[in-house]
Each structure stands twice: as structure tokens, then as C-alpha cells.
Structure 1
Amino acid sequence: MAFTYDMIKPILDASAQAQRLKLIGEVLPPTLYDNDLLADTVTLPATPALGLDEPSLAYRARMGGEPVALVFEAGANNGYSGRIGLVLAVLADGRLRAVRVSQYKETPVFGDYIDPKKDKNKSNPVDRAGSAARATTALGGHWKVKKDGGRFDARAGATISARAVTNASGKALIWIAERRDALFALPSGAALTEKTP
């Protein structure tokens, strides 16, 4: 059995890498960077601001050695049916490039619009309203659905998950903005600690 596993392990690893790159490609097209994202990573600590209970990886995109974007995971633990996993791409200047839902359990049809793969509209409300938003504490109040006084769309009767995704995205942007320079400066494979501002 171990022999069989050793034979297929490279195939499984290649498949997992391809899946990772596909998900990353949804938030950051490969035309925007020229480095090996899977090799240029840093470990983020478990932190409530990102909605993460365990450490996770941040992928650093570069073009000609210059920082382009960070791609990382975050989570919203207050979705309608529980936790919503997110993948975000934040450009080096602090703008949100895109956010995608990577995991959720929603009532079919009602919560589907937070996931462009299932929504007929095919456009994430956070992407539409937040693509030009800068991650600063001054914009903290804008990271809300319109119903709460913010600028992000939500469907009538289905605002819980949209609210959760919007709030989690805003918190993640602020957290990353405060650590962006350190994240790009760390050697590949290093871990960001809370002592690293």
C-alpha cells in the first residue's frame, strides 16, 4: 500500500497545486505576475481579524521582483449557515483586486449570489463596489451592506451572508494594510508573527 501511495503522491501533489492556482487565478490573473506564487509564500498567524483559527499561507505576487499583490484566505464565521471561507487578492497599493467565496453552506438560491460560480449575475457584490476602495481605517464604515449604511449590494431577504462577507473583507483589508510591507519583506517560507508589525 505504501508503495502505491509513493507512486501516486506526485500526481496528487500536482493536482492539489493546480487546484490552488485555479482558485488564485479567480482573484488574480496570472498575467499580473511573473513569479512562482506557490514558492513565494509567507505564513500568516491564526488571527480573529482574518477569521482564521489556524495559520494559513499568503501568496506574494511580483512582477520583475516588485510587489504586485497578496493572495490570502480569510473567513466569516457569521454567515447564514455558518462559516464562509474567502480568498482575497489585495494589490500592493492596498486596493482590493477581488474576493471569492471558497467554502460555504447556504440555502440554495438565496445565498448563491455571494458565489459568482452559482450566481446568474456572475459578479460578486464586494468586487463591484470595492475594487477601487483603499484599505484604510477611514473606510471602515463603508465596509457594510447598503442596508447598514455602507456601499455594498445585498439581495432583499438575503443580507446575512452578504453582510458577513463584506465585513470580513473589510477587516481583512485593514489587517493586511497594517502588515503589507512586512509581508513582502519577509523571506519566502517565513512566518509573520504579531511581533512583526
Structure 2
Amino acid sequence: MIDAIRKNAVTLGLFAVITTGVTAIVNAVTKPTVAHQTALQQKNLLDQVVPPELYDNHIQQECYLVTDAAALGNAKPHALYVARKGNQPVAAALETTAPDGYSGAIQMLVGADFHGKVLGVRVVEHHETPGLGDKIELRISDWINSFNGKVVHGAGDTHFAVKKDGGEFDQFTGATITPRAVVNATKRTALLIETLPAKLSSLPDCGEAP
């Protein structure tokens, strides 16, 4: 009886060791592929908010951390990707948060030049109501493309708002809170991007993230 228990314990132990080893091998083999695919997806997203013809640097490799709770929706560091042309900064993509969505925070990526012009916006995560607030997703609606080429003329620009608030951006039928949150977050982020070229040398890079 004791021998049988001992034999089973040894068998289970060997099985656990082999399984762990196989898992480690599979992880080591697939890790570069996963990392490569993640980088490609990130580059594709960046290209949607900062057109690649505008810059000639490796935008993913020039990544800084920006912290500004008032502009970016929370006190966390947000990744900033700087686009350069001939070594001169011409635009940037900045992760941001609209904290006041109908169903919670909306995570976004805003691309803009350093003169207040919005180049593109994408929502990367949200919990808005299907059929109403989810029109902020490009796969549902092209509403998010209405930001392309729009210029924010300072913090007091009343045109950069939804139409219900006197601005030029459409709201959704039965859902104003969601588009209002996205428009306002885009405005705040574009205005912040406008101030960043002079601060680049003092910003921590993304490798210094805790």
C-alpha cells in the first residue's frame, strides 16, 4: 500500500516537472512571435492617429511618460510617442483617459501636431452601452474620424464640443454623455500635446516606468 502511494507520488511529481518544462519551452519559443505581433498592432494603431507620411523616425522607439491628471483624466503616467521629420518633432500620439464616460472611463489614443491640429483619435477600451455609446468605436461607426484635421483654438474654443453644447461635433441619438466625454478628452489632450516639445528633454522615457 505504502509502495503504491509512493509510486503514484513519484509519477505525479515527474508529470508536474515535465508539464512545467514543456510550458516553459512553449513560452520561450512563442514569446518573440507574440512580442512581434504586439508591436505590429501598436504600430498600426499609431499610424491611424499620426499618418506615417508625416514622420521619418521610429515612433515606437521614442516613447516618453507624461503625467497630468487634469488633461489626461487620471494621475497615472501616460505614454507619449513622438513623431519626427528630419529630427524635428512634428507631432505626437498620447494615451489619454476620458474619465466621465456614461459607463466609466474611456481609454483613448490621440494624435495631434504641436499647433492644436488633431490628426486622429482612437478609442482603445470602453464599457459604453452597445447600440448607443459604442459608436465611438471605428468598427461600429466612422464618428471618431470627425476629429481628423480639426484644430483646437485654445482652452476657450467653444466650437470644439458636441452640438448640444454649442460645438460642431455630432452627439448620438439617445446618448450625449459618451461623445461629450470623448470630445472633451480629445480637446484637453491636444492642448497638452501642443505644450510638450519644450518639455521632451525632461520627460522620463517609457523604459523608466515603475
CA distance, structure 2, for counterparts of residue 87 and residue 186 of structure 1: 22
> d(CA) in 1 for partners of 2:71 and 2:150?
22
Show the counterpart of 1:166: 183
Q: How far 1:138 sits from its partner (Å)?
A: 3.5
Partner residue of 2:92? 70
For 1:113, which of 130, 135, 142 is the aligned residue? 135
What is the deviation of 1:190? Answer: 6.8
Does the C-alpha gap of structure 1 residues 94 and 171 become closer, same or farther in structure 2, counting only changes over 3 Å?
same
Q: Which structure 2 segments of 5+ residues have no match? A: 1-22
**1:88 and 1:98 in contact (8 A); partners too:** yes
Structure-to-structure mapping, 1:82-101, within 5 angstroms: 82-101=104-123
Q: Are the counterparts in 1 of residues 114 and 195 from structure 2 also a CA contact under 8 Å?
A: no
**For 2:197, which of 176, 180, 193 is the aligned residue?**
180
State the aligned residue count: 186
Question: How far is the alpha carbon of 1:191 from its aligned partner?
Answer: 8.9
Deviation at 1:167, TM superposition (A): 1.1
Question: By how many angstroms is 1:2 displaced?
Answer: 3.1
Answering whether residue 155 of structure 2 is matched by residue 137 of structure 1, we say: yes
Counterpart CA distance in 1 for 2:61 and 2:176 is 38
Secondary structure of 1:78's partner? strand
TM-score (normalizing by structure 1)? 0.83
Q: RMSD of the TM alignment (CA)?
A: 2.4
Structure index of larger Rg: 2
Q: Secondary structure at the match of 2:156?
A: helix
Report 1 or 2 for greater relative contact order, CA contacts < 8 Å, sequence distance ≥ 6: 1
Q: Deviations over 1:170-193 (max 9, x none)?
A: 11122222333213x45883799x
1:29 lines up with 2:36 in the alignment? no
| Residue aligned with 1:70, SS | strand
The yes-or-no answer on 1:189 pairing with 2:178 is no
User: TM-score scaled to structure 2, two decimals?
Assistant: 0.78
Partner of 1:195: none
Distance 1:81 1:68 in 2: 35
- Mapped to 2, the partners of 1:46 and 1:138 lie a distance apart of 19
| 8 A contact 1:99–1:126 mirrored in 2 | no
C-alpha separation between the residues in 2 aligned to 1:161 and 1:13?
33
Q: Could you list the structure 1 runs, at least 4 aligned residues long, displaced by more than 6 angstroms after superposition.
A: none
Q: Label 1:58 to 1:30 Cα distance change in 2 as closer, same or farther (>3 A).
A: same
Conservation of the 8 A alpha-carbon contact between 2:117 and 2:151: yes
The one-letter code matched in structure 2 to 1:124 is I
